[in-house]
Chains A and B, each alone.
Chain A
Amino acid sequence: MKRFLSSVRDGRGFDITLVAFPLTFLFLMAGLPLIYNVVMSFQEVDMFSLGTFARPFVGLKNYKDLFAQPETWPILGNTVIFVVGSIAGQFLIGFGLALFFWVNFPGASWLRGLFLVSWVMPGLVVGAIWNWILSGDFGVLNFILKESGIISGNIFWRSDPHFSLYAVIIANVWLGTAFNMILLSVGLSGIPGDLYEAAELDGANAWQRFWTITLPMMRSTIGAIVALGLIFTLQQFDLFAAITSGGPNNSSNVTQYWAWDLSFRQYDFAKGATISVIMIIFVMFASVVYVRSTRHEVRG
Chain B
Amino acid sequence: MGIRKFAMIGALALAGVSLFGLAAKAEDVTLTLWSLDKDIQPAPNLVKEFNAQNNGIKIEYRLIQFDDVVTEAMRAYATGQAPDIIAVDNPEHAMFASRGAFLDISDMIKGSSVIKPDNYFPGPLKSVEWDGKYFGIPKATNTIALYYNKDMFKAKGLDPNKPPQTWDELVEDARKLTDPAKNVYGLAFSAKANEEGTFQFLPWAQMGGGGYQNINAEGAVKALETWKTIMDEKLASPDTLTRGQWDSTGTFNSGNAAMAISGPWELDRMSKEAKFDWGVALLPVPKEGAERSSAMGDFNWAIFSSTKHPAEAFKALEFFASQDDKMFKNYGQLPARSDITIPATGEKLKDEALKVFIEQLKYAKPRGPNPQWPKISKAIQDAIQAALTGQMSPKDALDQAADKIKAVLG
Contact = CB atoms under 8 A, between A and B. Distances in A.
> Do A and B associate with each other?
yes
B242 A245 contact: yes
B64 to A, nearest CB: 14
B193 to A, nearest CB: 3
A161 B240 CA distance: 13
Classify the interface of chain B: helix, strand, loop or mixed: helix
Interface stretch (A43-51, A188-196, A200-208, A212-220): A43-51
Nearest to A263: B71
B95 A159 contact: no
B211 interface: no
Given A137-B256, A161-B391, A266-B375, A248 B242 contact: yes
Interface string A154-167: 00101111001000
For chain A, which range describes its interface: under 10, 10 to 19, 20 to 34, or 35 or more residues?
20 to 34
Interface string B378-410: 100010011011010000000010000000000
Nearest to A162: B389
Interface in B230-266: 237-242, 251, 256
B378 A136 contact: no
Interface residues of B, number: 33
A247 B385 contact: yes
Interface in B189-232: 192-194
Nearest to B73: A47
A48 B385 contact: no
Contacts of A246: 193
B74 A248 contact: no
A249 interface: yes
A52 interface: yes
B77 A48 contact: yes
Contact of B389 (A47, A71, A243, A248): A248
Contacts of B240: 159
Interface string A246-275: 111111000000000100111110000000
Nearest to B79: A51
B267 interface: no
Interface in A218-251: 243-251
B99 interface: yes
B391 A247 contact: no
Interface in B295-314: none
Contacts of B256: 137
Classify the interface of chain A: helix, strand, loop or mixed: loop
B378 A248 contact: no
B194 A245 contact: yes
Contacts of A71: 382
Contacts of B67: 264
Nearest to A265: B374
A268 B193 contact: no
A248 B79 contact: no
Contact of B382 (A52, A244, A250): A250
Given A135-B239, A264-B71, A248 B99 contact: no
B75 interface: yes
Contacts of A49: 78
Contacts of B378: 261, 265-266
Of residues B192, B238, B251, which shows the largest number of chain A Cβ atoms within 10 Å of its Cβ? B238
B47 interface: no
A70 B74 CA distance: 30
A235 B234 CA distance: 36
A267 B237 CA distance: 32
Nearest to A267: B374
B113 interface: no
B71 A247 contact: no
B161 interface: no
Contacts of A51: 75, 77-79
Contacts of B400: 70
Interface string B65-83: 0010011001101110000
A265 B372 CA distance: 11
A52 B240 CA distance: 41
Given A159-B242, A245-B194, A265-B378, A50 B75 contact: yes
A249 B194 contact: no
Nearest to A46: B99
Contacts of A136: 237-239
A48 B239 contact: no
A248 B193 contact: yes
29 contacts: A47-B71, A48-B74, A49-B78, A50-B74, A51-B75, A51-B78, A52-B78, A136-B238, A137-B183, A137-B239, A137-B251, A158-B242, A160-B389, A161-B389, A164-B242, A244-B242, A245-B192, A245-B242, A247-B385, A248-B389, A249-B193, A251-B389, A261-B378, A264-B67, A264-B71, A265-B194, A265-B374, A267-B70, A267-B95
Given A159-B238, A248-B385, 11 more contacts: A48-B77, A50-B75, A51-B77, A51-B79, A156-B239, A159-B240, A245-B193, A246-B193, A247-B193, A248-B193, A267-B374
Query: Top 5 closest A-B pairs, CB basis?
Result: A51-B78, A247-B193, A249-B385, A156-B238, A248-B241
